[in-house]
Chain A
Amino acid sequence: MSATLDQIFVLLQHWLVSFLPAVLQPFVSVLLGVVVIIGLFPALFAFAVWMERKGLGRIQNRLGPNRVGPFGLLQPIADGIKSLTKEDIVPLSADVVVHFLAPLVLVVAVFMGFAVLPMGRNMVLVDMDAGLLFYFAMGASTELSIFMAGWSSRNKYSLLGAMRAVAQMISYEVPLLMSSVAVVMIAGTLSLTKIVAAQNSYSGVFPHWYIFTPWGLAGFLMYVVSSMAETNRSPFDLPEGESELVAGYFTEYSGFKFALFFLGEYLAMFSISGLGTVLFLGGWSAPFSFLTWVPSWIWFFSKLMMSISVFIWIRGTLPRLRQDQLMNFAWKFVLPMTLLNLFVAALWRFLGEGWERWVICSVILLLAYVVLGRTGMREGKFGPRRYRYAE
């Protein structure tokens, strides 16, 4: 019974496809998967927007949306309808073609990333051997779309926002990759399904997720920081800092194109949380061995929603960084830490089983964290800046 429930979507797909002639079957089954992804994640987006508005409200001791539908649940629908009825304004001097293409490129590139994410046992659209590589290739093209948006608008705010975005995303792309490479080193594969499978075993009741190892925890933390910067989420939302740049690279967008950017941002958040889940949190595997009867896709999506909640929580807590803090943090803290983490992962692999590797790896990472953090703070690289004339 639980096995059927676990595979329910796969079985459903097979059953639907079985009505068709054999020639069409592979094609239609992929198409079905695409349709489900394109339908499911925007729905999740609507829910996440509601969650975010509610959560931020509560964090600020407000109620959040509570007028449209029960608990304001229909608010995203109202927002969607509103954005559809808005006039689509294109600035006179904008580059019309590029201006039009930018949001599309963003959404398409982000959707491509979902193709390789395993969302449950056997639930992956394309099981690529180099899934991780494909994912990062697609993730990098979102930068292109953001620069297209900023450049084609011919507006200085847009351009500034886009330049900030590109600088930030390229700086954090490196640590993001590096922290995932540690996982690849240990798992010995670039295929995301195999990475999940490698974590899907238990000692006693506890799972072998990579986050429960010293290098995994360090890698996960670095991954979280860089993924927040990659998706332009607060506290790394400089490219769209309202107080400085109106709305950054999408200042000149209105109506549905604006909604597409908004959608793209959230989809990027989902996909990057999904990847983090796969790499460090065991993907669709259950957190305790006695819970394996719960369908795998439930675990994947609950982990995803948990990550989104953390994103929201952090957004409600931290103020925006300054550009120099952002860059210093990326190049002088996160990058050295991830490089060191690669070394530690290698050490972990070759020290063999036993308690020694736990101690050695933890000590190296902790020391590095303290030393790097202390020096950075003392030199005023990440902490608050002292203004000579303000004292």
Chain B
Amino acid sequence: MLGEGILKGLWETAKNFTGSYVSADRLTTVEYPEQRIAPIEATRDFPFLVFDEENRDGGDPVWEAGLRCVACQICEKECPPKCIYIERSKDKKLDYLGKAQYYPARFDIDISVCMSCQICVEVCPFDAIKMDTEFELSTTDRFGGLLLDREQLAKPNEYYHKIHPAEAAGVDAHLAEEKVKADAKAKAAAEAKLAAEAKAAADAAAKATGEGA
């Protein structure tokens, strides 16, 4: 019958209309600034730089010394809209493996250009750059205010754990493994060096005895 569907539809919307006054569970939205829904773990918007709290190289401030980034500039090259700008340092600092590495003297991301593709995160071999969930980034300065520098980008590893717990735990485990491997390698190298030195000393001694004889 013509018009039946319309009546059904009108009944449905009338139920919604009155229902939304009666029961609050019907309301699908929240009053945003006052109420928030819990963030979803896979949320991502813009990248940030991870630094480790433990101040390894003695320099301050902490965030600068602890940056994992070694200024290899892979992310800068891979970023599709080219919104990362990196200047490599002249000197080197020790990284968490105890290796001397460069660090970024400048690291800027223009978040007005960034398209949140996460490619920079995928290509970084040092787990130094990760995706943030902070979205309240409005500013009155649309050029300078949206160009984040090193200091604004740096966030502690704890923060990373807070926003992406599972992912951060995986990264930490991976880094610890690397460190164990590196330590073992360093130990082996040191032992080899010791053995070589001992051998050299023994050789020298043997030589000396031989000459003396």
CB distance from B155 to the nearest CB of A (A): 32
Q: How far is the CA of A369 from the CA of B4 in the complex (A)?
A: 12
Using C-beta atoms within 8 Å of the partner chain, give the interface range for chain A.
20 to 34
Q: How far is the CA of A60 from the CA of B20 in the complex (A)?
A: 9
**Which among A7-15, A243-251, A309-317 touches the partner chain?**
A309-317
Interface presence of A377 (CB below 8 A):
yes
Instruction: Please give, as numbers and ranges, the residues of chain A lying within 8 Å of B20 by CB-CB distance.
Output: 58, 61-63
Interface presence of B145 (CB below 8 A):
no
Interface presence of B3 (CB below 8 A):
yes
Q: In the complex where A370-B1, A374-B2, A382-B2 touch, is A61 in contact with B13 (Cβ < 8 A)?
A: no
Instruction: Please give, as numbers and ranges, the residues of chain B lying within 8 Å of A62 by CB-CB distance.
Output: 20, 27-29
Interface presence of B10 (CB below 8 A):
yes
On whether the beta carbons of B9 and A318 are closer than 8 Å, the reply is yes
Instruction: Please give, as numbers and ranges, the residues of chain B lying within 8 Å of A317 by CB-CB distance.
Output: 6, 9-10, 12-13
CB distance from B40 to the nearest CB of A (A): 21
The interface bits of chain B over 23-52 (1 if a CB of A lies within 8 angstroms of the residue's CB, else 0) are 000111101000000000000000000000
Q: In the complex where A58-B20, A61-B27, A62-B29 touch, is A313 in contact with B13 (Cβ < 8 A)?
A: yes
Instruction: Please give, as numbers and ranges, the residues of chain A lying within 8 Å of B2 by CB-CB distance.
Output: 333, 369, 372-374, 376-377, 382
Closest B residue by C-beta to A319: B9
Closest B residue by C-beta to A316: B13
Q: How far is the CA of A333 from the CA of B2 in the complex (A)?
A: 11
Interface presence of B17 (CB below 8 A):
yes
Interface presence of A55 (CB below 8 A):
yes
Interface presence of A291 (CB below 8 A):
no
CB distance from A381 to the nearest CB of B (A): 10
Interface presence of A59 (CB below 8 A):
yes
B interface, by DSSP: helix, strand, loop or mixed?
helix
Q: How far is the CA of A55 from the CA of B17 in the complex (A)?
A: 7
Closest A residue by C-beta to B18: A58
On whether the beta carbons of A373 and B17 are closer than 8 Å, the reply is no
CB distance from B29 to the nearest CB of A (A): 5
On whether the beta carbons of A373 and B1 are closer than 8 Å, the reply is yes
Q: In the complex where A63-B27, A370-B1 touch, is A318 in contact with B6 (Cβ < 8 A)?
A: yes
Closest A residue by C-beta to B27: A61
Q: How far is the CA of A149 from the CA of B26 in the complex (A)?
A: 42
Instruction: Please give, as numbers and ranges, the residues of chain A lying within 8 Å of B27 by CB-CB distance.
Output: 61-63
CB distance from A370 to the nearest CB of B (A): 7
CB distance from A22 to the nearest CB of B (A): 54
Q: How far is the CA of A369 from the CA of B16 in the complex (A)?
A: 30
Instruction: Please give, as numbers and ranges, the residues of chain B lying within 8 Å of A369 by CB-CB distance.
Output: 2
Contact partner, B17, options A59, A318, A377, A382, Cβ 8 Å: A59
Closest A residue by C-beta to B29: A62
Closest B residue by C-beta to A373: B2
On whether the beta carbons of B16 and A58 are closer than 8 Å, the reply is yes
Interface presence of B198 (CB below 8 A):
no
Q: In the complex where A63-B27, A63-B29, A316-B13 touch, is A58 in contact with B6 (Cβ < 8 A)?
A: no
CB distance from B211 to the nearest CB of A (A): 97
Interface presence of B21 (CB below 8 A):
yes
CB distance from B46 to the nearest CB of A (A): 28
Instruction: Please give, as numbers and ranges, the residues of chain B lying within 8 Å of A376 by CB-CB distance.
Output: 2
Instruction: Please give, as numbers and ranges, the residues of chain A lying within 8 Å of B28 by CB-CB distance.
Output: 61-62
Q: How far is the CA of A382 from the CA of B16 in the complex (A)?
A: 27
Q: How far is the CA of A61 from the CA of B26 in the complex (A)?
A: 6
Closest B residue by C-beta to A376: B2
CB distance from B121 to the nearest CB of A (A): 35
CB distance from A87 to the nearest CB of B (A): 18
Closest B residue by C-beta to A66: B31
Contact partner, A58, options B9, B10, B21, Cβ 8 Å: B21
Interface CB pairs A-B, < 8 A, 19: A58-B16, A58-B17, A58-B21, A59-B13, A59-B17, A60-B16, A61-B20, A62-B28, A62-B29, A63-B29, A313-B13, A313-B14, A314-B10, A316-B13, A317-B9, A317-B12, A317-B13, A373-B2, A374-B1
**Taking beta carbons and an 8 Å cutoff, which residues of B are in contact with A?**
1-3, 6, 9-10, 12-14, 16-17, 19-21, 26-29, 31
Q: A63-B29, A370-B1, A374-B1 are in contact. List 17 more A-B contacts (CB 8 A).
A: A58-B17, A58-B20, A61-B16, A61-B19, A61-B26, A61-B27, A62-B20, A62-B27, A62-B28, A313-B10, A313-B17, A316-B13, A316-B17, A317-B10, A372-B2, A374-B2, A377-B2
